Structure 1
Amino acid sequence: MKLVNYKPDYLLEAVYNLDVENLKKKDIRGIMVDLDNTLIAWNNPDGTPELHQWLKTMRENDIKVIVVSNNKHERVQRAVAKFDVDFVSRAMKPFAWGIHKALTKLEEEPDHVIMVGDQLMTDIRAAHRAGVRSILVKQLVASDAWSTKFNRWRERRMWKKLVRRYGQPEWKKRL
């Protein structure tokens, strides 16, 4: 297992910290975003006013947003219906399948998109496998769905290795 495969390209406090100006400077035209604990709190499917404003800003500036989630189709469809964004369900992260499907839907090349998620073991690993830049964000809420708890345990072990190799992470407010 190569440590660099789990190292995010960027660390941001939240997906809402992605602003149009910095995305355009990096030639980003599409954002792939995990659903639970990244875009919305896993236990609050309505999202926040901040989320709605962020999505509106992305749309107004022709930056495409697509949800890439390991959840089943019905769950993701129900969650994103009020946000007017496309999605890939059962993405099978940490494998690249869902990322490749999202690239096709976005009609973009890997160099022009970024994957945003809250988990090293799934979101960041899948992005690297697909050749897409990655952003790790802090979880929106401290608790997780039962299915994520094992990954969090593995992630804590991976963080220790990353810190030993690369130093303490620095969470940013801007890209």
Structure 2
Amino acid sequence: MIEKYYPDLYYDSIRHIDLENLKNRGIQGLILDIDNTLVPMHAKDADENAISWIAELKNKGFKVCILSNASEKRVIRFNKDISVTAIHRAYKPSGKAFLNAAKVMGLEPEKVAVIGDQVFTDIIGGNKVNMLTVLVKPIDEKEILFVRFKRIFEKLIIKSFTENVEDKINKRLDKRIEWKKNSLELEKSRFKG
């Protein structure tokens, strides 16, 4: 089922995300990826764009959690200027990682949106646990070899998603509820705690 690879929403960057739309959908918390979502992959610290955008999220009342597969050292350094809940070595797309992020924010998965640049980590992981998934275009093309390899397949998925996107979104909204709820129950049963 190719739908598990599709995001619910797709934007050019974090700055293009319609935050009011997220609020209207009942979203109260945001799970954010770091690399190529908030900053280029090679950036060690949060830049002014990331800092000001996360401040805007907080001002709008969103709870925020960084969820990264990066090392503890990397995540702590990045988080020093933004001071949000952060989870390192998340092993995305593990459903457990996303459920833990929702738990630390004190929210049910249905009240959380995942924002990231990778289909095979951020989008699949969020979809597994019935979160709203938001794909953004990667900030920088300079990436490690493994990620560049995955991008080949991601391009095919994104192309499929963007063809007749209106029809797909409407169908997905109808189907999303059932298959995402079923997936959430499966993930919860696998990772009790």
- Give the TM-score of the pair, scaled to structure 1: 0.85
Q: Is the alpha carbon distance of 1:46 and 1:71 closer, same or farther for their aligned partners in structure 2, counting shifts above 3 Å?
A: closer
1:116 and 1:137 in contact (8 A); partners too: yes
- What amino acid sits opposite 2:57 in the alignment? M
Provide the aligned length of Structure 1 versus Structure 2.
166
Paired with 2:111 and 2:124, the residues of 1 have a C-alpha distance of 18
- Relative contact order, higher structure (CA 8 A, sep 6+): 1
For residues 1-48 of structure 1, give each alpha carbon's deviation from its aligned partner in whole angstroms, at most 9, with x where no partner exists.
x20000110001112233542222111111101110001111123333
Q: Is the alpha carbon distance of 1:25 and 1:38 closer, same or farther for their aligned partners in structure 2, counting shifts above 3 Å?
A: same
Paired with 1:169 and 1:40, the residues of 2 have a C-alpha distance of 27
Q: Is the alpha carbon distance of 1:111 and 1:144 closer, same or farther for their aligned partners in structure 2, counting shifts above 3 Å?
A: same
The yes-or-no answer on 1:167 pairing with 2:163 is: yes
Which region of structure 1 is more displaced relative to structure 2, 85-94 or 127-136? Answer: 85-94
In structure 2, the gaps of 5 or more residues are 167-193
Paired with 2:75 and 2:153, the residues of 1 have a C-alpha distance of 25
- 3-state SS of paired residue (1:101): helix
Q: Is the alpha carbon distance of 1:21 and 1:143 closer, same or farther for their aligned partners in structure 2, counting shifts above 3 Å?
A: same
The yes-or-no answer on 1:3 pairing with 2:2 is: yes
Q: Which runs of 4+ in 1 moved over 6 A?
A: none
* Structure of larger gyration radius: 2
- Give the TM-score of the pair, scaled to structure 2: 0.78
Give the aligned CA root-mean-square deviation in angstroms. Answer: 2.0
2:187 match: none
Which region of structure 1 is more displaced relative to structure 2, 37-46 or 149-158? Answer: 149-158
Paired with 2:79 and 2:35, the residues of 1 have a C-alpha distance of 11
The yes-or-no answer on 1:17 pairing with 2:16 is: yes
1:41 and 1:47 in contact (8 A); partners too: no
In structure 1, the gaps of 5 or more residues are 171-175
